[in-house]
């Protein structure tokens, strides 16, 4: 299939005759007087979908106005798109028919999806806000895609009634106006369906009343009857309505795409003998401890065979020593490639057993997908055209100057054989989905084709809409944003490098108060095998505590890399963010029963997250004032309750000050006494009014996670 046969993601698919009519331009006359513009949320003119998880609300707003002074009305229209149906902006929509595939069950790049659209639109009424802005809200309930748009019209009955009342109140004769109203009501009765027969008869009676011989005041009162307005609102005249000129998409995921606690572990390090790799059977022993700490996802680095050629040694040494296991990201050997298991870890059956046990403990398994190959990968021999060659015929290894990765060959997404390559990479995802994995952390997606990600994620979602893709892309903001638009459900962020109170406020406001909130879901990893920030290197135990609490409460999804609970903080050298004796290059057994482990704090924080729905989303995050710049003070709200968090971002010194409690949002009086409880340890504090004092000594506590206990409020003295 030639590249130009892929339809541009910017092309819109018309799903409504009204949309086609409006987009035809000024040459087509229309009676529609209403203008609908600036619909929100809409990402890049509707090219990309917004994102929600099951149970979340979508609030749609638009500027809606018309000539003259008539009243207007409108609705948000929405419907769930049947599984497999191409969405507007989906590059699959215009692809040619698939060619037969030699591999059973495989779907080719040219897949066609032809399920008919669901004709059943649901509607919610728009509510007028300020300055011609209207909004309406609907809730998404199932994974997949939802369409939504806005339709508005002149409210003929409402406009008539407004004029009638104004004239009647001024003592004017409204006999003509009553006849006009009778005609409007009569038409509504005629347009209603047979299922509304009783209501239709009622409307006919009211129409007769309006044009009858009763006193004018009685007929005006009949017109003002709220029950008539309800009947007419249910039967608006929409023959000259205006529908927004495009249908927008909301991509809906499972709750885990928004909320979850991740734990990254290397199974090979779960061994009593550091001279050999631990197996999946041995790694099972860690699962109950990880579950006890309250994690939802166990994330594994690549589990595939590791290459021998140019294998890296300890601390990223260019030459491996005897017995060095190499980097799991140097994928492929004589034992296989991306759909094989590293022999030192066991077998595919052992992996399946590991996944089943994790599931029984209430956890999902996430797998690292790194689309690159060691020089020993079978693809290098079987598909040399999938790699970029130098003029001398050799394959160019990966580089990020001054870093060199001689043990890794990048894949050439611009290869002349790109179709077979793309399908093979998609098959990697499908293979592991077939083995119980629905969550993938994708390594360095910003170094691979954006168009590939748009295509492959959309393809996978057709049959597996519950699949989650996390983009590990610590790169430029525009690139991170595009990957989120292209389909990644979650994104790594700059959280690791945002450590002061003002840095956190600025960054979180960017993530939650701009258009990013509509499509980019942050996952706050406090550390990774690649990133040991200076804050953790120098801040001691208190630094680990505060970063844990901030990651877990600022973001609905967060994660830690194993060793965090042991406060591992020694860099390979000063000024580096690499760990000394990095687990990426060696087997690293640990004593998980150390007395100073953070596992109890981690378990408590994760329990709080599960108990408090406010912490399971990001949309309601708000920062409040504190008079000490080292204190970060914020809250999240949910109908089930509000959580307030104050943390000392200085891990070395006691910080104290006054924080402004948002009592204006909580229904608490200016001088009212109330009690706040710290969910971390159950301590209770008597507070009063708006400003209250906090003191955080890093040697004792670094933060409070607070709730107001309504039963303890004593009222204004």
Distant-in-sequence, close-in-space partners of 499: CB < 8 Å, separation ≥ 6:
533, 535, 547, 649
> DSSP assignment of 568-597, as one string?
---BSSTT--SBTT-TTTS-----TT-TT-
CA angle 11, 15, 21 (to 5 degrees): 90
Distant-in-sequence, close-in-space partners of 45: CB < 8 Å, separation ≥ 6:
10, 246
Chain centroid to CA 687: 36
Phi, psi of 713 (to 5 degrees): -65, 135
**3-class SS shares of the chain: helix, strand, coil, % to 5:** 35, 25, 45
Between CA 410 and CA 449 the distance in angstroms is 12
Helix (H) or strand (E) holding 89: none
| DSSP count for the chain of H helices, then E strands | 16, 30
In the set 350, 443, 459, 650, the catalytic residue is: 443
List 469's β-bridge partners, or say none.
440
Between CA 679 and CA 292 the distance in angstroms is 18
Count Cβ atoms within 10 A of the Cβ of residue 381 and give its class: 0-12 exposed, 13-18 middle, 19 or more buried: exposed
Q: What is the largest CA-CA distance in the chain?
A: 106
Neighbours of 570 (CB within 10 A): 9
Distant-in-sequence, close-in-space partners of 279: CB < 8 Å, separation ≥ 6:
267, 271, 344, 345, 346, 350
Distant-in-sequence, close-in-space partners of 472: CB < 8 Å, separation ≥ 6:
441, 442, 443, 444, 445, 492
In the set 90, 472, 565, 583, the catalytic residue is: 472
Structure tokens at 463: 């049959």
Between CA 297 and CA 239 the distance in angstroms is 52
472 is catalytic: yes
For the chain, state the CA radius of gyration: 31
CA angle 7, 253, 427 (to 5 degrees): 60
Contact yes or no for 62/36 (Cβ under 8 A): yes
Between CA 466 and CA 474 the distance in angstroms is 25
Between CA 112 and CA 622 the distance in angstroms is 45
Count Cβ atoms within 10 A of the Cβ of residue 420 and give its class: 0-12 exposed, 13-18 middle, 19 or more buried: middle
503 is catalytic: no
Positive/negative CA dihedral, 93, 99, 104, 109? negative
Between CA 635 and CA 641 the distance in angstroms is 11
Contact yes or no for 629/502 (Cβ under 8 A): yes
Count Cβ atoms within 10 A of the Cβ of residue 510 and give its class: 0-12 exposed, 13-18 middle, 19 or more buried: middle
Crossing angle between the packed helical segments 216-224 and 226-233, to the nearest 10 degrees: 50
Distances (CA, A) of 496 to 117, 558, 589, 629, 693: 44, 11, 25, 19, 29
Q: Which residues are catalytic?
A: 443, 472
């Amino acid at each position: 299939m030639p590249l130009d046969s892929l339809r541009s993601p910017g092309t819109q698919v018309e799903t409504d005759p009204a949309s086609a009519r409006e987009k035809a331009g000024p040459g087509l006359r229309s009676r529609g007087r209403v203008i609908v513009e600036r619909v929100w949320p809409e990402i890049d003119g509707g090219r990309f979908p917004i994102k929600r998880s099951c149970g979340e609300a979508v609030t749609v707003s638009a500027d809606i106005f018309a000539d003259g002074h008539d009243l207007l009305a409108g609705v948000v229209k929405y419907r769930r798109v049947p599984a497999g149906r191409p969405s507007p902006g989906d590059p699959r929509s215009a692809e040619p028919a698939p060619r037969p595939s030699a591999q059973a069950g495989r779907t080719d790049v040219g897949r066609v999806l032809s399920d008919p659209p669901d004709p059943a639109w649901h509607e919610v009424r728009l509510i007028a806000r300020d300055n011609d802005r209207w909004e309406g809200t609907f809730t998404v309930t199932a994974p997949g895609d939802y369409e939504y748009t806005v339709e508005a019209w002149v409210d003929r009955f409402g406009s008539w009634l407004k004029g009638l009342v104004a004239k009647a109140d001024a003592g004017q004769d409204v006999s003509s106006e009553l006849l006009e109203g009778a005609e409007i009501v009569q038409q509504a009765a005629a347009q209603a369906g047979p299922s509304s027969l009783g209501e239709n008869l009622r409307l006919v009676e009211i129409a007769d009343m309006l044009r009858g011989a009763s006193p004018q005041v009685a007929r005006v009162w009949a017109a003002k009857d709220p029950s008539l307005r309800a009947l007419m609102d249910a039967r608006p005249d929409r023959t000259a309505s205006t529908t927004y000129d495009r249908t927008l998409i909301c991509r809906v995921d499972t709750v885990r795409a928004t909320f979850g606690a991740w734990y990254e572990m290397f199974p090979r390090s779960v061994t009593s003998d550091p001279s050999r790799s631990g197996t999946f059977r041995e790694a099972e022993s860690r699962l109950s401890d990880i579950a006890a700490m309250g994690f939802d996802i166990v994330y594994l680095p690549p589990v595939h065979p590791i290459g021998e050629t140019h294998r890296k040694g300890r601390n990223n040494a260019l030459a491996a020593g005897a017995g060095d296991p190499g980097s799991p990201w140097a994928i492929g050997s004589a034992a296989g490639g991306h759909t094989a298991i590293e022999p030192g870890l066991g077998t595919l059956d052992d992996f399946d057993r590991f996944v089943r046990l994790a599931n029984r403990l209430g956890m999902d398994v996430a797998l690292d997908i790194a689309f690159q190959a060691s020089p020993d990968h079978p693809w290098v021999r079987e598909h040399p055209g999938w790699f970029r060659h130098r003029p001398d015929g050799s394959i160019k290894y990966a580089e990020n100057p001054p870093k060199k990765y001689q043990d890794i060959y990048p894949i050439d997404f611009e290869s002349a054989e790109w179709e077979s390559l793309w399908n093979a990479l998609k098959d990697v995802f499908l293979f592991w989905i077939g083995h119980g994995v629905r969550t993938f952390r994708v390594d360095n997606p910003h170094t691979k084709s954006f168009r590939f990600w748009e295509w492959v994620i959309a393809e996978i979602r057709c049959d597996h809409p519950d699949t989650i893709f996390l983009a590990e892309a610590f790169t430029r903001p525009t690139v991170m944003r595009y990957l989120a638009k292209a389909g990644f459900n979650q994104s790594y962020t700059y959280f690791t490098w945002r450590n002061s109170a003002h840095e956190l406020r600025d960054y979180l406001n960017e993530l939650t108060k701009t258009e990013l909130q509509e499509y980019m879901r942050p996952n706050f990893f406090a550390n990774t095998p690649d990133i040991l920030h200076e804050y953790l290197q120098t801040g001691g135990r208190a630094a680990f505590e505060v970063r844990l609490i901030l990651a877990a409460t600022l973001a609905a999804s967060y994660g830690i890399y194993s060793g965090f609970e042991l406060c591992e903080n020694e860099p390979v050298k000063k000024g580096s963010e690499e760990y000394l004796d990095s687990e990426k290059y060696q087997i690293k057994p640990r004593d998980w029963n150390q007395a100073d482990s953070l596992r109890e704090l981690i378990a408590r924080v994760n329990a709080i997250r599960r108990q408090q729905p406010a912490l399971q989303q990001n949309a309601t995050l708000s920062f409040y004032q504190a008079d000490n710049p080292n204190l970060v003070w914020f809250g999240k709200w949910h109908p089930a309750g509000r959580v307030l968090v104050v943390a000392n971002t200085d891990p070395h010194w006691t910080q104290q000050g006054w924080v402004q409690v948002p009592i204006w949002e909580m229904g608490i009086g200016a001088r009212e006494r109330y009690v706040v409880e710290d969910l971390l340890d159950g301590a209770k504090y008597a507070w009063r009014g708006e400003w209250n004092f906090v003191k955080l000594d890093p040697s004792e506590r670094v933060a409070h996670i607070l709730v107001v206990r309504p039963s303890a409020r004593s009222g204004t003295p």
